[in-house]
């Protein structure tokens, strides 16, 4: 009678690539998650693949950040190097890259800053450059998470022009200005140095606006649309699933992970049961794919 069941094929596991060698630093507030240099990421990728998880999402933490986030489209950037190294050793692992400026800019915003404000249109060119650079390094799919208007179209055009018309786009389509990203910003060292992301990310109070955001991304060429965060936005996942015919992804974000890990550490909740319940509810709401830091823990349970 069970209507919903989780499968390993549902999962995408996020990885954080940093510079240097032989580096593996556990992320505060995200036990079990690490910032890793390329050599360590390859080992981790092998482990992920051997658990039966088909796909990873790469985030980069560059050695140097600047106002234009040049590390994002550096052919020798951390993500570009990691893609090549993983493809070399774990060729069948499907690699998705997060396309955004915030991990690479000195100010920590997802776009270019002029006179204290994020400038939408000039940012599009850089995002397109970043996506092309990831595809050139061998990424299987790109995932723009910046929430600038028009970026899916700009990235699609650039990929097509550069000969990457087969590389799909998973857009962070309905991405909310959420407090649940806190631990991630430590992980990616991407906390904005001033202001916040409310001029480009969505108001958590808005539901209908999500459909508008998703429709725009689909019109521009998105192949998969994502809702983020997941747990507190199950209504949005369900709305998007019912309104459109594209695959829907949901991002079970850092704060959602941390809360469960913390509760379990205190002995207040049963970690694996809560985890499986949360993941199942995200799928039940309509997600075809779940980006989650729990992927490895859940895989171990599903593999039993």
In the complex, minimum distance from the CB of residue 197 to ligand PBG, in angstroms, rounded to a whole number: 6
Classify burial at 266, counting beta carbons within 10 Å of its beta carbon; exposed 0-12, middle 13-18, buried 19 or more.
exposed
Q: Does 98 bind ligand PBG (CB under 6 A)?
A: yes
Instruction: Supply the minimum distance, in Å, between the C-beta of residue 211 and ligand PBG.
Output: 21
Alpha carbon distances (Å) from 146 to 39, 48, 172, 178: 28, 26, 8, 14
Q: Which stretch binds ligand PBG (CB under 6 A): 37-45, 97-105, 154-162, 241-249?
A: 97-105
Per the residue annotation, which of 87, 228, 241, 261 is the catalytic one?
228
**Measured distance CA(56)–CA(134) in Å, rounded:** 14
The angle formed by the CA atoms of residues 215, 179 and 82, to the nearest 5 degrees, is 75
The answer to the question of residue 36 lying near ligand PBG (CB under 6 A) is no
- Give yes or no for residue 24 binding ligand PBG (CB under 6 A): no
Q: How far is the CB of 59 from ligand PBG (least distance, A)?
A: 7
CA 298 to chain centre: 18
Residues 144 to 203: which contact ligand PBG by CB under 6 A? Answer: 145-146, 181, 184-185, 197
Pick from 169, 46, 157: nearest CA to 98? 169
| Closer to ligand PBG by Cβ: residue 31 or 162 | 31
**Of 121, 69, 54, 122, residue with least CA distance to 99:** 69
Residue 13 in contact with ligand PBG, rule: CB under 6 A? no
Which of 80, 195, 106, 199 lies closest to 146 in space, CA to CA? 199
Segment contacting ligand PBG by CB under 6 A, of 33-41, 98-106, 209-217, 260-268: 98-106
Which tokens in the block code for residue 240?
A: 């998007």
Token readout for 258 is 């941390």
Are the beta carbons of 170 and 223 closer than 8 angstroms? yes
Q: Which of 12, 53, 78, 110 binds ligand PBG (CB under 6 A)?
A: 110
Contact between 47 and 300 under an 8 Å Cβ cutoff? The reply is no
Angle, alpha carbons 160-68-98 (nearest 5°): 50
Taking CB under 6 A as the rule, does residue 130 contact ligand PBG?
no
Instruction: Please say if 300 is a catalytic residue.
Output: no
Q: Which is nearer to ligand PBG, 1 or 188 (CB)?
A: 188
In DSSP terms, which residues pair with 57 in a beta bridge?
14, 96
Going residue by residue from 219 to 238, which x/- string records binding to ligand PBG, judged by CB under 6 A? --------------------
Is 228 part of the annotated catalytic residue set? Answer: yes
Given the residues 175, 241, 261, 283, the one annotated as active site: 175
Please list the active-site residues.
175, 228
Using CB under 6 A as the criterion, which residues of the chain lie in contact with ligand PBG when the complex forms? 98, 100, 102, 110, 145-146, 181, 184-185, 197, 253-254
């Amino acid at each position: 009678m069970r209507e919903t069941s989780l499968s390993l094929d549902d999962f995408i596991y996020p990885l954080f690539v940093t510079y240097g060698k032989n580096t593996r630093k556990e992320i505060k507030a995200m036990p079990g998650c690490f910032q890793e240099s390329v050599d360590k990421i390859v080992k981790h990728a092998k482990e992920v693949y051997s658990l039966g998880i088909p796909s990873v999402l790469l985030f980069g933490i560059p050695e140097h950040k600047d106002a234009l986030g040049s590390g994002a489209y550096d052919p020798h950037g951390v993500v570009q190097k990691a893609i090549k190294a993983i493809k070399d050793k774990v060729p069948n692992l499907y690699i998705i890259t997060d396309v955004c400026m915030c991990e690479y800019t000195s100010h920590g915003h997802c776009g270019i800053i002029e006179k204290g404000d994020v400038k939408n249109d000039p940012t599009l060119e850089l995002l397109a450059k970043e996506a092309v650079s990831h595809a050139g390094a061998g990424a299987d799919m790109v995932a723009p998470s910046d929430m600038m208007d028009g970026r899916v179209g700009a990235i699609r055009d650039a990929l097509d022009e550069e000969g990457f018309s087969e590389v799909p786009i998973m857009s962070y389509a309905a991405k909310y200005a959420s407090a649940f990203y806190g631990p991630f910003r430590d992980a990616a060292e991407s906390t904005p140095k001033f202001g916040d992301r409310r001029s480009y990310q969505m108001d958590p109070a808005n539901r209908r606006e999500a459909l508008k955001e998703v429709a725009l991304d689909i019109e521009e060429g998105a192949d998969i649309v994502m809702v983020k965060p997941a747990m507190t936005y199950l209504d949005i996942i369900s709305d998007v699933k019912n309104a459109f015919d594209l695959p829907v992804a949901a991002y079970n974000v850092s704060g959602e992970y941390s809360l469960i890990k913390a509760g379990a550490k205190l002995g207040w909740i049963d970690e694996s049961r809560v985890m499986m319940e949360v993941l199942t509810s995200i799928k039940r709401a309509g997600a075809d794919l779940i980006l989650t830091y729990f992927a490895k823990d859940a895989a171990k349970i599903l593999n039993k």
